[in-house]
Amino acid sequence: MTHRFGLVVVIGMLLLPLLAAQAPDPRLTERSAALREGLVELCDWCKEQDLLRERQRLLELVLVFAPNDRKIREAAGYEAITSKRWQRRKGFRNPLRTNREAVPEFERRLGLVIDEIFLLLDEIPTEGEPDLPLADRRDVVEALLVVLPREPRLLEALGEKKKGSRWYLEESLAARERRAQVRRQAELLFAGSGEPAKVPVPDPENAVDLRWKSARLLPGVEVVGTVSDDEIEEAARIAWASIGWFRLATRREAPPFQDFRIVLLQSVEEANLYLHFDRRVDDASRRFADGLTSFWIPKTATVLIWAPDRGLRKEWVARQTTAMLLLNGFGISTRQGAVYEGLGLYLSHKITGLRSTWYVRQSRYDEKRDDRLAIDDIKNQKSWLKLAKRRSRARAPDFRRLLALEVNQMEVEDLVGAYALAAYLVEGAPDRLAPFLERLGQGMNFEFAVREIWGLDALELGTQVGRWLKESVDG
């Protein structure tokens, strides 16, 4: 009852300026003006009924929207320090008196007002139309929640759903159902890839003086290598499954590069020989490849992988396939570091069960080693989502910082945040994943893209992902 009373002034203070500023439909303006008159009358009635405790809470709420209103400040027990600075009057006490006998009539009157409020709210555009952007509508809904914290219609307007006696983010309930499905999809894709066809070792690889074992082909990818034939076959199946998995996750048809080829080598010596033989690789590119374990031949659809063990090589197959799809399908590159690393790690982990390959040099992470979370710490974690959940309890993910980073600017802790973001997108908000990627690939600023897709700023999205982790991840 006391919370609802604050709604009286919120509409008058918040809805009218937003509507008037955007020159909306005159009928909407007339309705909001009439509603405000009714709210003011109800406010006066409540004062007459000696609802002093409720009145004080109302005054404090009004100050959220009109912080420099002198009349309201003074009525709420403040005194001026300057024209825009206030402090509580000495000896001020919150009033406790309320008139319980007036409650039934108050709730009856307020119920009528609430119905009118939702009729008005339903007429406010919800898809970012020019009259009133989605972000402003969300601001209205969140302001109303201050005084109606358990109002189902408001919670549903913010994308929440009730399960049992509790309210959850819609993304949290979706993730709990989708997480197992995502894992099963990856398993089925790998199992259903079939046996890759054996083909002759192609040029230019065939002309390089290396002991090529075989070449394998599946739709969309060819794998050739000096490693064992069964590893080459496995790599082709991983790449094929990654392509299918990416399409399921994004719900978009992102075709592979034409002539997409993966070259698997057993050692750095073989890689050096290949790089020196291939005329498409200049000296600067060779220097860049020095110290890496995977490298794209410039201006081609061929990627070399020469990690020292089979596990790392197969993980690089999944990661580089995902990188190819992000670039070819959406224009996403290392400039969008959080998405590039996050989705790459998340998707390849579902296919291979591994999560150890990162696009920047290992030494780069070592140089920026964070005492709170070191490289060995995250490598030893069985679940990065549980780790992200534990860390978000103390501090919501800082997405304003994270989303602005390129890959080579990321630090150790950023990997966990990027992985959590990817899981949230794939498991909790799959319908928003592709539109988000499309806007980023078109060059839209992260902040603008987040605002357009979610109606939030980056900090608010970080808070939402922190809550999502709490609600959807066990342990």
pTM flag (> 0.85): no
Residue with the larger pLDDT of the pair 247 and 16:
247
Q: Of the candidates 331, 258, 261, 270, which has an alpha carbon nearest to the alpha carbon of residue 296?
A: 261
3-class SS letters over 39-105? HHHHHHHHHHCCCHHHHHHHHHHHHHHCCCCHHHHHHCCEEECCCCCEEECCCCCCCCCCCHHHHHH
Phi, psi at 302, each rounded to 5°: -110, 130
Write the pLDDT tens digit of every residue in 230-248.
Answer: 999 999 999 999 999 999 9
Average pLDDT of span 25-30:
64
DSSP states along 183-209: HHHHHHHHHTT-PPEEEPPPTTGGGSS
Query: Is the four-CA dihedral 332, 334, 313, 380 of positive or negative sign?
Result: negative
CA dist 94 and 77 (Å) reads 9
> Is residue 261 within 8 Å of 302, Cβ to Cβ?
yes
Q: How far apart are CA 468 and CA 456, in angstroms?
A: 15
Contact 225, 214 (CB under 8 A): yes
Length of the chain: 475
pLDDT tens-digit map of 158-201: 888 999 989 999 999 999 889 888 889 988 999 998 899 999 99
Asked if pLDDT for residue 120 goes beyond 80, the answer is no
